[in-house]
Structure 1
Amino acid sequence: MRVCTDAGWTKREECVRDPTGRTPPHGDPKGDPKAVRRRQNRVAGIATIGGFLFGYDTGVISGALIYISSDLHLDATEQSVVVSCLLLGAAFGGTFAGRVSDTAGRRRVINWAAVLFLIGTAGSALATSMEVMVAARIVLGLGVGAVSAVVPLYIGEIAPLSRRGRLVNQNEIMLVTGQLAASVVNAAIAGVSEDDQVWRWMLGVALIPAIGLFVGSRFLPESPRWLVSHRQFDEADRTLHSLREPQAAQEEYGHILDVSRAHRHDARMKPRRYLTIRWVRHLVVVGIGVSLCQQLAGVNAVVYYAPTLLSRTGLSANASVTSEIAVGGMGVVATLVGMYLVSRVDRRPMLMTGQIGAAAAHLLIVALITVLSGTVMSVSVLGAMVIFIFFQQCFISTVTWLTLSELFPMRVRGFAMGLSVFFQWTANLVVSLAFPNVIERYGPQAAFGSFVVLSLLGFAFTRWVLPETRRESLEDLERRLKARFS
């Protein structure tokens, strides 16, 4: 391995910075650990505004739907379309954004997603018909899909190994905080006014964080791994030295270059051609499986339809909307617990714990609906939903997004993440379309009973198929998985 200096550095992929430190590093020459951590936190904080918008825009509809349905005169099928059209946009937004982020860069795609959030939020808040609402929410969905695919990737690539779990899961914290904020905003606005038009304010509040993401994303550094894969070596070096202590930056830069050099022969291969490579194809299938496991556990059926379902059991519209706060609050608490655990416990045991807990919670909901009635049933079902959200957010969602950010090789990471997110949002769409209709036709016991079975199937997948991804750098993990599945 050649040692490089700033002068005469031509075949850059074949060399690394002088590990003795004689080559002057870019960034903070003192490498103050506190300053480095502050920069890491600032970058992750700006990027995860996208996670907040993801959470707010998917969560706000559950409380707003009651008022939208009344104002725009929507039947059950039309309600499903209004909820689900965002998911359709997200499926394609995630696929497209993941692919584009491999060519245009992670930072640029996050900025473009902010523009979609601005357009979609304004359009949905001002909608005067179902058709306009659906069009605006599809645009909003493109933004949601984009950040769901790219933000975890971006943070995983800029985070050091020791903080990767915490920083990637900061996005999940922001996601559930966004869902909680949506619940609080919905309840506050519904408490101030009973006008059918209050839903416009509920949806329009999202303009504030969308503006924040648009402005903040323009100051984000690009992923150093993406920069190296596109031969922008000086910029990658500067970015690493601004986000690491000098010695750590030099060592990590060397690892990244080693992997880049190992894949020089297929640098120009189109992403879909990678699917002909056995080990890459295997990891993509595993990623799709992880994504499906998260959605088929039923989380978004609870998030989207909890107030509507509880109102059917006898709670008033305002009380049903307020119940969202319990669900959203538990989501935040559970994610904080998950953030603590994920740096200490391997991914697979956490995911399996969540899947067993989710199955048990759904089974409890079935039993409560069957045995109880009236207000007692409403309160009991809400409690069981809160238990489910704990297992989902603490274990399943926390591990899912982190695993997806770690699993794929660098050359195809955006493409593979986008493909996994496409299947995740497609499953979300199917569940959201089917859930209210299954309840209408077969009853809630059948709907929640199906989630019991699907959660147990997810457990089997995790137990026998999913590889462990904790404890290794992205480059070392790529080498190990390649050797294992080739």
Structure 2
Amino acid sequence: MSHNSPSDSRVDLPPLTHGPHRKRLGLISVVACLGGLLFGYDTGVTNGAEGPMAQDLGLSLLQLGVVISSLVFAAAVGALLLGRVSDAWGRRRTIILLAVLFFVGTLLVVFSPASPEPETFSPTGFTVLVCGRIMIGLAVGGASTVVPVYLAELAPYEIRGSITGRNELAIVSGQLAAFVMNALIAVTLGDVVDGVWRVMFAVSALPAIGLFLGMLRMPESPRWLTEKGRYDDALAVLETVRPAERAKAELQEIERIAAIEVEAHQVGLKAVLTNKWLLRIILIGIGVSMTQQLTGINSVMYYGTRILEESGMTAQQAVLANIAFGVVAVVGGLIALYNMDRLNRRTTFVIGLSLTTTCHLLIGIAGNLLPEGNPARPIVILVLVVAFVLSMQTFLNIAVWVWLAEIFPLHMRGLGIGISVFFGWTMNGFVALYFPTLVGTVGISGTFFLFAAIGVLALIFVITQVPETRNRTLEALEEDVSTGAIYQVAKPADAHRS
């Protein structure tokens, strides 16, 4: 079989050359990825801010849980809602809206009224705080869907993986920044400033302003413009991020696929509900998104210190060691970006799930073999959890977000990724909600053995169901997804490319 699928053979695009258009594309990705940076910072900041915040507002453990999980569940709604909004309103304008939500939500959190008496509950402060967290959550969910789609639609297919994957690198960089900033602020201002947690949250206002101002100067997605019939505008954008001949050729291909869809009435929600192949790809998208969360990665990023304390570390040791998770996440993200346009998506999924499942098993075994009080126990578990985070970030996280941004046809891209990520975020919320109870009930070993069993099922799902997307134009993928041809060529194509 040839390297490309049958639908690719009709696409004879001029080669991608170096030039000012590459720098322009790089700038666009940096600005858009501020949305990913905010996503990461706002999900990571509570890891160090929760204690002072609970004390300042007099929050119980249940109320603290509501504050933390409200962002996650709001993100599920934001992913679904704002993905759909981006289909109707445009990717660029939706990202500008996200910047506003990030900023206003941060203001609400920072200026939540404290209780008049120390360590007494403040109903007003709690209400304002949760409203702010919900607003930030809507923005986080929107960023998780719209930013990858925006980057995928602007990037040429040859480097689409590394361009789109930059957003996930920005997310883990944001989480690392949150861990480091929390430590620095706590050390330098903890004994000087009342309500030091407010400073920790306030830091995120700066990238929110940068995202808003930066996106005002960025272009709209050329594929979204084409779908709306704005062909001249689409060509003008493509000519800023492609060589001139390549821009014209790509626009012709985008127009051709759009015309075929209109002729076949394959547009809108009705088309999704009446096409078994589109329904199937949405179900697979949901599965891929949930698989990412069921590895337990966000349990580590949210409750890393708790895991390390359960393994035998002191609270201070756990806080410092927790920074290691953020560091290896960024290192893994850099390796993933290097490999993203070199390895097939399916290959990275299989390698990633094999490694993470092995790490889960080893953590479970170590928890059983090394009794509490054994000085080697916390060190071994720390090393294994670091290996798990590194495996996850190197082979799964970036690849999942890139795959989700690529797989859905243009007319339903925002809807498809929105539905998929909605289920991913919902699963994230439930795992985050019940993880402390799970660890308390069955211990570290039982918890990670459960993750390992889920990992085996996830491997079977990926091998049997998930189609390949690398080295294909979005238009070629669109044709094969809509007709079901992508399932017929997935395995032979993989065998040839690997």
Match of 2:413 in 1: 413
Q: 1:360 to 1:77 in 2, by over 3 A?
A: farther
Give the structure-1-normalised TM-score.
0.90
Describe the superposition over 1:215-262 as per-residue Cα deviations: whole angstroms up to 9, x where unpaired: 111111000000010001110010011110011111111110110110
Q: 1:40 to 1:58 in 2, by over 3 A?
A: same
Match of 1:24 in 2: none
> Do the aligned partners of 1:116 and 1:139 also contact (CA within 8 Å) in 2?
yes
Describe the superposition over 1:372-418 as per-residue Cα deviations: whole angstroms up to 9, x where unpaired: 43454333222211111111111111110010011001111111111
Match of 1:379 in 2: 379
Match of 2:146 in 1: 150
Matched, 1:446 2:470: no
Deviation, structure 1 residue 206: 0.6
Q: Residues 458-473 of structure 1: matches in 2 within 5 Å?
A: 458-473=458-473
> Do the aligned partners of 2:311 and 2:381 also contact (CA within 8 Å) in 1?
no
Match of 1:211 in 2: 209
Could you tell me which of 231, 253, 256 is aligned with 2:254?
256
Deviation, structure 1 residue 311: 3.4
Describe the superposition over 1:92-139 as per-residue Cα deviations: whole angstroms up to 9, x where unpaired: 101011101111000010000001100111222232333332221111
Could you tell me which of 304, 307, 310 is aligned with 2:308?
310
What is the one-letter code of the residue matched to 1:197?
G
Deviation, structure 1 residue 269: 4.6
Counterpart CA distance in 2 for 1:193 and 1:395 is 38
Counterpart CA distance in 1 for 2:300 and 2:270 is 35
Counterpart CA distance in 2 for 1:77 and 1:302 is 20
Match of 1:106 in 2: 91
Q: 1:131 to 1:437 in 2, by over 3 A?
A: farther
Matched, 1:179 2:175: yes
Deviation, structure 1 residue 313: 4.4
Counterpart CA distance in 2 for 1:270 and 1:484 is 18
Describe the superposition over 1:321-378 as per-residue Cα deviations: whole angstroms up to 9, x where unpaired: 2223210110011011111111111111110111111111122222233314345433
Match of 2:27 in 1: 42
Match of 1:188 in 2: 184
Deviation, structure 1 residue 62: 1.5
Match of 2:346 in 1: 348
Match of 1:403 in 2: 403
Q: 1:125 to 1:311 in 2, by over 3 A?
A: farther
Give the structure-2-normalised TM-score.
0.88
Counterpart CA distance in 2 for 1:427 and 1:331 is 21
Deviation, structure 1 residue 171: 0.7
Counterpart CA distance in 2 for 1:183 and 1:166 is 26
What is the one-letter code of the residue matched to 1:147?
A
Deviation, structure 1 residue 59: 1.2
Q: Residues 231-270 of structure 1: matches in 2 within 5 Å?
A: 231-265=229-263, 269-270=267-268
Could you tell me which of 322, 325, 349 is aligned with 2:323?
325
| Secondary structure, counterpart of 2:252 in structure 1 | helix
> Do the aligned partners of 2:37 and 2:173 also contact (CA within 8 Å) in 1?
yes
Deviation, structure 1 residue 458: 1.1
What is the one-letter code of the residue matched to 2:195?
Q
Counterpart CA distance in 2 for 1:66 and 1:160 is 46
Counterpart CA distance in 2 for 1:65 and 1:313 is 21
What is the one-letter code of the residue matched to 2:372?
S
Q: 1:443 to 1:72 in 2, by over 3 A?
A: farther
Describe the superposition over 1:251-285 as per-residue Cα deviations: whole angstroms up to 9, x where unpaired: 11111011011012366953254222111111111
Describe the superposition over 1:2-32 as per-residue Cα deviations: whole angstroms up to 9, x where unpaired: xxxxxxxxxxxxxxxxx99xxxxxxxxxx98
Counterpart CA distance in 2 for 1:290 and 1:236 is 31
What is the one-letter code of the residue matched to 1:434?
Y
Matched, 1:166 2:165: no
Deviation, structure 1 residue 71: 3.4
Matched, 1:87 2:46: no
What is the one-letter code of the residue matched to 1:400?
V
Taking only aligned residues, the RMSD between alpha carbons, in angstroms, comes to 2.0
Could you tell me which of 348, 358, 361 is aligned with 2:359?
361
Counterpart CA distance in 2 for 1:79 and 1:352 is 37
Match of 1:8 in 2: none
What is the one-letter code of the residue matched to 2:173?
T
> Do the aligned partners of 2:310 and 2:444 also contact (CA within 8 Å) in 1?
no
Describe the superposition over 1:15-72 as per-residue Cα deviations: whole angstroms up to 9, x where unpaired: xxxx99xxxxxxxxxx983211100001111101001011111111112223333434
Match of 1:123 in 2: 108
Counterpart CA distance in 1 for 2:324 and 2:453 is 26
| Secondary structure, counterpart of 2:145 in structure 1 | helix
| Secondary structure, counterpart of 2:19 in structure 1 | helix
Q: After the TM superposition, which of the residue ranges 43-52 and 367-376 deviates more from structure 2?
A: 367-376
Percent identity among equivalent residues?
Answer: 38
Match of 1:484 in 2: 484
> Do the aligned partners of 1:267 and 1:411 also contact (CA within 8 Å) in 2?
no
| Secondary structure, counterpart of 1:45 in structure 2 | helix
- Flag structure 1 segments of 5+ consecutive residues without an equivalent: 1-18, 21-30
Counterpart CA distance in 2 for 1:266 and 1:134 is 46
Counterpart CA distance in 1 for 2:371 and 2:326 is 25
Aligned residues: 458
Deviation, structure 1 residue 310: 2.4
Deviation, structure 1 residue 194: 3.8
Match of 2:132 in 1: 136
Counterpart CA distance in 2 for 1:379 and 1:76 is 29
Match of 1:271 in 2: 269
Counterpart CA distance in 2 for 1:131 and 1:308 is 27
What is the one-letter code of the residue matched to 2:38?
L
Deviation, structure 1 residue 316: 4.2
Counterpart CA distance in 2 for 1:32 and 1:312 is 53
Counterpart CA distance in 1 for 2:380 and 2:344 is 33
